[in-house]
Amino acid sequence: MGLFGTDGVRGVANRDLTAELALDLSVAAAHVLADSGEFAGHRPRAIVGRDTRASGEFLEAAVVAGLASAGIDVTLVGALPTPAVAYLVATLQADLGVMLSASHNPMPDNGIKFFARGGVKLDDALEIAIENRMREPWERPVGGDVGRVVSDVSAADLFVSHLLSTLDSETPLSGLKVVVDCANGSASVVGPEALRRAGAEVIAIHAAPNGLNINEGCGSTHLDDLRAAVVEHGADAGIAFDGDADRCLAIDALGNDVDGDHILGILAISMAASGTLVHDTVVSTVMANLGFNQAMDAAGIAVISTAVGDRYVLESMRENGFVLGGEQSGHVVMSEFGTTGDGILTALHLLARVCTSGKTLAELAGVVTKLPQVLINVRGVDRNALDSNLRVSAERELLESALRGSGRILLRPSGTEPVIRVMVEADSQDWAQEVAEQLARVITTELALD
């Protein structure tokens, strides 16, 4: 069926992602985990959270109905960040976590993401098993064997306390003025609260969710309001979360963007200096700017590049014991403190580095000099023929030779659409644009669908 993508099941709520589908997925997940032995010897328990989308309310009800009808006790934690749900699953020793969110997607979308024991994402095999067992006949528990449902009003404070416990002092952000764009999402309460308790003066914007305004012209995908607010208030920095607060981008005091490559570079160098960067290695993706790799090389830090998607970053980190990884989009994983990308955790450690270094955010971010980057989506082409087309391969080799090591070319077929993404980095914007357009023309000609 192919329901699961790289980050759970997503779609337009009540059209693609219906209450019926949410219920069926939850029942199937309960059966798969029960058969794997996860629930052996005890009464199973799940943590269920959501972001602030209106559709999260009916989807939450459907998920709860599915889990409880399958005999799982459910603890509702309300609107909280995705990493909070992962943390609570691990800390409260729950057997399953469910987060209802479509992250940075627009409001009509929603999604379902499952976490296994320990707050880790389900592996591919479990997701396939869940899909295969959708709507199977089953014997329903009755009487006292059905699941019970409770709400935990202390969950938010527990999560904030955890975030603050990862810092080296009680008020490490003392003296900083920070503007925080909460994307009218899950971070609207806990994001500003965590930064204030860490000692910062906080000005919160887009922190009034009404169910309809999540990610609407705000948050990590729309930085203009944050940029203007940082300059207006004379703030030291701006922090932007997305709808479920699993990513973080920043703005320096001058209004310049500080993206995931900059943030990952700042944290990697800081951790290497303190001896906490395992194997002096950071994990990133193939979409990281070449300037990031060059900066890490200059700092004596190795870079492991994975496919695009935080799940691939996480897999590499778990397999090799690395403690820091992330993406240009702002997903940053600090595995000493969490099992998934955590925007608020990232913001706290980034701003703490500003304070301890005595440097401005702009000065710290300057360690990564970004090469001009151009991305073109070539549509209406056969993405499956990319690797086998000799003309495209020859043109790519010719253009890579012309870049003479001062840039790079990345071609990525979309996983779901007839689209090939052409990304070019070069030492000038014009040169990157010219190379990208030339390669896009060849791809359009050679791989056009009939």
Tokens, residue 377: 């989506």
Scanning the structure block, which residue is given the tokens 């308790």? 197
CATH architecture of the domain covering 9-155: 3-Layer(aba) Sandwich (3.40)
Torsion angle of the four alpha carbons 170, 259, 159, 337, in this order, in degrees rounded to the nearest 10: -80
Tell me how far apart the alpha carbons of residues 146 and 358 are, in angstroms, rounded to a whole number: 57
Instruction: Kindly report, residue by residue over 361-413, the tens digit of the pLDDT.
Output: 999 999 999 999 999 999 999 999 999 999 999 999 999 999 987 899 999 99
Right CATH for 373-447 from 3.30.310.50, 3.40.50.2300, 3.20.20.70, 3.10.105.10 = 3.30.310.50
Give the active site residues. 103
213 pLDDT band, cuts 50/70/90, is: very high
Q: pLDDT value at position 225?
A: 98
What is the assigned CATH class of domain 171-365? Answer: alpha beta
Tens-place pLDDT, residues 124-137:
899 999 999 999 99
pLDDT of residue 352: 98
3-state secondary structure of 264: helix
Grouping H, G, I as helix, E, B as strand and the rest as coil, residue 52 is coil
Query: Tokens 């997925």 map to which residue?
Result: 25
Helix, strand, or coil (residue 191): helix
Q: Give pLDDT tens digits for 4-33.
A: 887 899 999 999 999 999 999 999 999 998
> Around Cβ 440, how many Cβ atoms within 10 Å?
19
What does the pLDDT read at residue 211?
Answer: 98
State pTM to two decimals: 0.92
Tell me the residue length of the chain. Answer: 450
Hey, where are the domains in the chain?
9-155, 171-365, 373-447
Q: What percent of the chain has pLDDT over 90?
A: 90
**Cβ-proximal residues to 154 (8 Å cutoff; 6+ apart), any chain:** none
Tell me the sheet residues that pair with 324. Answer: 334
- Rounded to whole angstroms, the Cα distance separating 154 from 164 reads 16
Same fold, 9-155 and 373-447: no
| Residue found by looking up tokens 């309300």 in the block | 78
The pLDDT score that the predictor gives to residue 124 is 87
Interaxial angle between packed helices 343-357 and 187-197, expressed in degrees from 0 to 180 and rounded to the nearest 10:
20
Place of tokens 């906490």: 276
pLDDT (0 to 100) of residue 41:
81
Q: What is the mean pLDDT of the segment spanning 343-348?
A: 98
